[in-house]
Amino acid sequence: MFEVKKKKKVDYEALNSALMRIPRMDVAAVRNLIDLGISEIYELQGRAPEVLWDEACARNPEIPKDRIRYFRMAVYYAESDSPKTSLLHPDAWI
């Protein structure tokens, strides 16, 4: 017969967050930042991406290791007045 497809859960809070204005930002990474209490871009200024990563891993140990790239990119974007386009891609932060 027909296979019942489950609907994917959509994280509307993360999608509507100001953090999604960061170019190429991942919704799951935004969810991790929201869980840490960060909901605005300016709140990333002066934060160390590695510390954010450690805090996010303490809350959810199943976070993929490559998620730190998004944290680094987000902090760079928050701290730059005119960020370089080449650095607004997660692959630039490996």
Nearest by Cα to 93 from 45, 38, 26:
26
pLDDT category at 1 given cuts 50, 70, 90 is low
- pLDDT digit string, tens, across residues 37-79: 999 999 999 999 999 999 999 999 999 999 999 999 999 999 9
Structure tokens at 1: 């017969």
79 exposure class (CB count in 10 Å sphere: 0-12, 13-18, 19+): middle
DSSP string, the chain: -PPPPPPPP--HHHHTSGGGGSTT--HHHHHHHHHTT--SGGGGTT--HHHHHHHHHHH-TT--GGGHHHHHHHHHHHH-SS--GGGSSGGGG-
pLDDT of residue 20: 95
pLDDT of residue 69: 96
pLDDT of residue 41: 95
Mean pLDDT of the 20-26 span: 94
Instruction: Please check the confidence at residue 4 and state whether its pLDDT lies above 80.
Output: no
End-to-end Cα spacing for the chain: 46
pLDDT of residue 89: 92
- pLDDT digit string, tens, across residues 29-43: 999 999 999 999 999
